[in-house]
Amino acid sequence: MVHAPHARLPHPPLLSAGPLALAMRRLAPGDARATHAQRTAYLRRYTQLGDPEADAVVAMFARLPPGQGRRLFEAALEYGIDTLIAPPDELREFFAAIDEVPYWVDTDQLERGCRVIGRAGPVGATALAMLALCGGYLAARVAKPLVATGELAAMAPRRLGATMRWWTAVTTPGGMDRYAPGFTATVRVRLTHALVRAGLSRRPDWDHTAWDTPLNASQLAGTITLFALAHLAGSQAFGIHFTAAERESVYAVWRYIGHVMGVRPQILPSTERDAWRMWWLQSDYEFRQPDQDSKLLAQALISAIGPLCIGHGENLPSRLGRTMVTESMSAYARLILGRDNADFLGLADRKAFQACIIAAAAAAAVLEYPRRAIPGATRCAETIGRRAIVTLTRRMAVLQDCAVPSESATATPLRPASSTRARNRRPCT
C-alpha cells in the first residue's frame, strides 16, 4: 500500500470511539496523528532500544564482584559520583548524564507544576490508578514484564503502593532536586528497569519478535506520557479546570522526570502537543491488542485497591468501605475508558456508582468557579489537595506493610500467565 508522504494515518481503534476518542478531539491541541513514515521510523528504532546508559551499568554489575557494583551505584546516588575513587567509566557516564540539569529546566515552572498536580488531590490519584495503571494494562506488550514477576494478586498492592509513593515523591515541590527523595527514587526505578530488561532478555520464553525489547525506549516514553496525560485528562473529566500555563507546567515536571528516568531526548515530550502525539503513537501500536494478561493485571489491581485504601478488617464499616472504594474506582474507570475497554478488563458495571461519579464531577466543576475567582482559593486548594495525597500515600504504605507476602515473588512462564494468592496475610484495620 502506497502512502502519501504527508498524509496522516487514521485513528487506531482505541481512539476511534468512546470517551478516549472524545478526549482526543476535545483536549488534544491540533491533529495528533502521525504519518506512515513517522510511525515506521519511530517503531523501527525505539521499540528495539533500551536505555544504553543504565544497561551499561547493569553490565558493569555483572563484571564486578557480587554486590560491589550496586554499592558503588548507591554511594554515587546518595553522595555524588565525585566521592568515589576511580569509579568505573559506566558509572561516571551514567551520573554525568543525570547530574547535569538540562538548559530547559525552569525550577519555578517545576514548582508551579507540582502545585497544580497537588491541587487535584485524590482525584488525581484516582486518575493515576484507574487511567494510567488500569487503563495502561490494555497495552499487552507493556504488561508482559509485570506478568513475568508472577504472583499477580500478591504483587498488585505492593506495585500500587510503591507507585503511589514514587508519584507523591516526584510531584512534591522540590522532590526532583538532586538528592531529594523523588530524584533518588526515580534513578532507582531506572536501574530496576535495566535489571529487569537484562533478565527478561535472557529468558528463552521472551518472544522478541512479538513483544520487542522488554521495557524498551518507546514504552518508557509512553509511560511518562501517560502519567502526565492521565492526571490532567482524568482530572478534567472530573470537573477540575487547568489553564494552558498550568498544563504546560505539569508537562514540564514530567519532562524532567522522564529525563532522569532515561527516556531518549528525541521522544521525550516537551509540550502538551508533543504529549498527545506520543499518546497517539502508543495507542496505535501498544494498545491495539490487549490480551488475557491485561485482564489478569486489571483484576489484580481492582482487588487490591479497597484493602490498600481501607484495610483488611472484617467489621461492617471496613467491608462497606472496601466495597465503596472498589466500586467507585471501577465506575470512574468505566466512564473514562469506555464500555468496551471496561468490559474487556472485567470492570464492574454499576449504574448507581457511575451516576454518583457523574454527580460528583458536576459538583466539582461548579466549585471550580469560586476557586478561580476568590483570591487565595487556588493556593488553599493546592495545600488541601497535597495534604490529602500525602495522607493517602502514608495510609497505603501502612496497610501495605500489613499484607506483605512472606515469600518473594517467583518468576513464572510468560504464557500462559496466572495469579496466585498472597500468603500469611495478617489483618489490618
Output the tens digit of pLDDT for each of the chain's 429 residues: 555 667 999 999 999 999 999 999 999 999 999 999 999 999 999 999 999 999 999 999 999 999 999 999 999 999 999 999 999 999 999 999 999 999 999 999 999 999 999 999 999 999 999 999 999 999 999 999 988 876 677 788 888 999 999 999 999 999 999 999 999 999 999 999 999 999 999 999 999 999 999 999 999 999 999 999 999 999 999 999 999 999 999 999 999 999 999 999 999 999 999 999 999 999 999 999 999 999 999 999 999 999 999 988 999 999 999 999 999 999 999 999 999 999 999 999 999 999 999 999 999 999 999 999 999 999 999 999 999 999 999 999 888 765 433 333 333 344 433 333 333 333 344
Which residue, 321, 300, 311, is CA-closest to 157? 300
* pLDDT given for residue 425 in this prediction: 36
* pLDDT given for residue 3 in this prediction: 58
The CA dihedral of 211, 51, 33, 133, to the nearest 10 degrees, is 70
* pLDDT given for residue 45 in this prediction: 96
Give the whole-angstrom CA distance, residue 79 versus residue 112: 28
Mapped onto helix, strand or coil, the DSSP state of residue 171 is coil
Is the Cβ–Cβ distance between 305 and 160 less than 8 Å?
A: yes
Per-residue model confidence as pLDDT tens digits over 52-96: 999 999 999 999 999 999 999 999 999 999 999 999 999 999 999
Is the Cβ–Cβ distance between 1 and 273 less than 8 Å?
A: no
Length, in residues, of the chain:
429
**What residues does 35 pair with on adjacent strands?**
8
State the sign of the Cα–Cα–Cα–Cα dihedral 393, 300, 231, 103.
positive
Which residue, 280, 332, 317, 305, is CA-closest to 12? 280
Give the whole-angstrom CA distance, residue 340 versus residue 318: 31
The single-letter code of the amino acid at 154 is A
Can you say how many angstroms the Cα of residue 59 is from the centroid of all Cα atoms in its chain? 26
Give the whole-angstrom CA distance, residue 328 versus residue 351: 11
CB atoms near residue 108 (< 10 Å)? 8
* pLDDT given for residue 5 in this prediction: 62
Instruction: Give the DSSP letter of residue 402.
Output: T
Give the whole-angstrom CA distance, residue 287 versus residue 303: 23
pTM for this predicted structure: 0.91
Q: Which residues contact 125 (CB under 8 A, 6 or more apart)?
A: 164, 167, 389, 392
CB half-sphere exposure, 10, CA atoms < 13 A: 5
Give the whole-angstrom CA distance, residue 272 versus residue 277: 9
> How big is the CA angle at 317 (ends 314 and 323), to the nearest 5 degrees?
85
Backbone angles phi, psi at 149, to 5 degrees: -70, -20
Cα end-to-end distance, the chain, whole Å: 61
Ranges of beta strands (E only) in 174-293 are none
The three-state (H, E, C) secondary structure of 43-99, written as one string: HHHHCCCCCHHHHHHHHHHHHCCCCHHHHHHHHHHHHCHHHCCCCCHHHHHHHHHHH
404: exposed, middle or buried (Cβ count in 10 Å: 0-12, 13-18, 19+): middle
Give the whole-angstrom CA distance, residue 332 versus residue 312: 23
Give the whole-angstrom CA distance, residue 151 versus residue 405: 10
Per-residue model confidence as pLDDT tens digits over 353-411: 999 999 999 999 999 999 999 999 999 999 999 999 999 999 998 887 654 333 333 33
Can you say how many angstroms the Cα of residue 336 is from the centroid of all Cα atoms in its chain? 16
